[in-house]
Amino acid sequence: MGICTQTGVTELNSIPAKRWLQPVISGLATDKELIALFDRNLDTAELLAKDRQYVWHSMVSYHANSQPLIVTGGEGSWIVDSNGERYLDAMSGLYCVNVGYGRKELADAAYEQMMALAYYPLTQSHTPAIRLAEKLSEWLEGDYVIFFSNSGSEANEAAFKMARQYQQQIGESSRYKFISRYRAYHGSSMGALSATGQSQRKYKYEPLSAGFLHVCPPDSYRRPAGQTVEQFNLYCAQAIEDTIIWEGVESVAGVIMEPVISGGGVIVPHQVYLDRVQEICNKHGVLLIIDEVICGFGRSGFKFGYQNFKLKPDIVTMAKGLTSGYLPLSATAVRKDIYDRFKDEEDYGFFRHVNTFGGNPSACALALKNLEIMEREGLVERSRILGQRLEEGMKQLLDHPLVGDIRSFGFLLGVELVTNKATKEPASVDAVKKIIGQCKARGLIIGKNGDTAAGFNNVLTFSPPLSSTDEDLAFILSTFTAVMNEIGDGMPV
Ligand code: PMP
């Protein structure tokens, strides 16, 4: 059935409530559910109608037949919607609510800071930014200086500008290019989107920034026959060096990568890949920028994802889990000796980049409290334990006809769905949506690598709060297994 168009709702606003709701009901739902909802809860129906009229959602097709949850509360790993239905959020929102929902301590930290000093720009300074920067430097286990912004995209934009400027200031003025991997995501703004290796996220927004190049990701599951995982990973790393050489070493400023491609399909490299990437960057004077927007803050079972692989990044970008999503905040951490080169020159030597809200005092105070909670409750270690158990539980599904591969990194897990295990033919977007829908119907929210590269949107993702209880984990496993078994038993996909 069709959906209620925006124009339709506008016109209907002026007519009496029940008639006004009728097209909403017929437009939004093909089943009896929404009609029951009308009787039960007028507010939700009304909110849905207004939502259709006023809110432009992220990543949702206007022709989508589904309706959003109107989420009204959260506690631990669970959210509740306007109908009072509870869901376990095995995606932590968008990979960010690492300490779980409903933490009063975080709200208090923000409130107290707001009452003391609600805002001051970081053209000057304030205590929460100083304390948080010091704490982040400790978590990074290196000598880093921190630049604050509000989102992961902005943190990456700052990193690109810093890298280009740094290269110029050390006399490498022709270096401006960045290399990243296909299937990786680095943000929505024009520079960060240029670094993104997902064609479907770029389609209709191009041309983007010049100087962003892409190479193949170390997707070991799809490696050519006859190659070992190590050989294939070395081959993928070599693609970076080849690109640097073919483009001209003197033209390349940096390489940007997540330690593990997360939202792009949970693509986990072998240690040899990252060892080699580090070596290549060092050898050619190319800065290694590590995007920790998802992998950071305990998600990987370490404080930062790169620590699993003992990398020494030049620049680290982070967001999401920094505040567990409670307030917007991101950061670009830069090695101290790189930062020092911004002091050399009087006129244009400093970083001429301002972010009005970046490092907002309340967001910084909240982030500090967030890190304190993670330390106090041992959530980084908990992530490692929960991740192992999730993986063990999920591996029972490897025999399932639709499950091609299961990959995990700390408490982040991807299930790659295929229609044919021998050919590895990716499962359709419809099959992925169906499984997600079935999980949702049973109270479990899971994610997917949607709209990345055509034909490769077949990975289900799990990234639950690190504070999840044993019961939460059991619920995730039992619900997902039940859905998969039901599908395996002949439900059409
Ligand atoms: N980098 C990575 C790895 C991400 O996953 C994201 C967001 N999903 C970003 C950057 C961009 O972050 P934001 O949406 O906060 O701009």
| Six-digit token string for 112 | 């107290």
Task: Check: CB of residue 189 under 8 Å from CB of residue 157.
Answer: yes
Alpha helices in 205-284 (DSSP H): 229-247, 271-284
Task: Tell me, in angstroms, the distance from the centre of ligand 1 to residue 226's CA.
Answer: 35
- What pLDDT, on a 0 to 100 scale, did the predictor assign at position 316? 99
How high is the pLDDT of residue 23? 43
Q: Is 185 in the pocket of ligand 1 (CB under 6 A)?
A: yes
Output the pLDDT for position 61. Answer: 78
Q: What CA–CA distance (Å, rounded) separates 21 from 44?
A: 11
167 in ligand 1 pocket by Cβ < 6 Å?
Answer: no
Copy the structure tokens of residue 194. Answer: 């240029």
DSSP category for residue 269: P
State which fold the 74-99+378-488 domain adopts. Answer: Aspartate Aminotransferase, domain 1 (3.90.1150)
In CATH terms, are 74-99+378-488 and 104-376 the same topology?
no
CA atoms within 13 A on the CB side of 286: 30
Q: Which helix (H) or strand (E) holds 260?
A: none
pLDDT at residue 41 in the model: 55
Q: Is any atom of ligand 1 closer than 6 Å to the C-beta of 259?
A: no
491 near 455, Cβ under 8 Å?
no
CA angle (111, 116, 122) in 5-degree steps: 100
User: Per residue of the chain (493 residues), what is the pLDDT tens digit?
Assistant: 222 322 333 333 333 333 334 444 455 554 555 544 554 456 899 999 999 899 999 988 766 667 899 999 999 999 999 999 999 999 999 999 999 999 999 999 999 999 999 999 999 999 999 999 999 999 999 999 999 999 999 999 999 999 999 999 999 999 999 999 999 999 999 999 999 999 999 999 999 999 999 999 999 999 999 999 999 999 999 999 999 999 999 999 999 999 999 999 999 999 999 999 999 999 999 999 999 999 999 999 999 999 999 999 999 999 999 999 999 999 999 999 999 999 977 788 999 999 999 999 999 999 999 999 999 999 999 999 999 999 999 999 999 999 999 999 999 999 999 999 999 999 999 999 999 999 999 999 999 999 999 999 999 999 999 999 999 999 999 999 999 999 875 555 5
Top CATH class of 104-376 equals alpha beta
Q: Is 293 in the pocket of ligand 1 (CB under 6 A)?
A: yes
Amino acid at 279: E
- Specify the pLDDT at position 60: 84
**Residue ranges per structural domain of the chain:** 2-54, 74-99+378-488, 104-376
Radius of gyration of the chain (CA): 23
**DSSP-assigned states of every residue in 460-483:** EEE---TT--HHHHHHHHHHHHHH
Task: Report phi then psi at 387, rounded to 5.
Answer: -60, -45
How many Å lie between the centroid of ligand 1 and the Cα of residue 155? 9
Residue 360 and residue 323: Cα distance in Å, rounded? 12
Q: How many whole angstroms from 150 Cα to the centroid of ligand 1? A: 11
pLDDT at residue 42, as a whole number = 60
Q: What's the pLDDT score for residue 346?
A: 76
Nearest C-alpha neighbor of 25 from the set 11, 46, 53, 6: 46
Q: How far apart are CA 250 and CA 27, in angstroms?
A: 58
pLDDT score for 67:
85
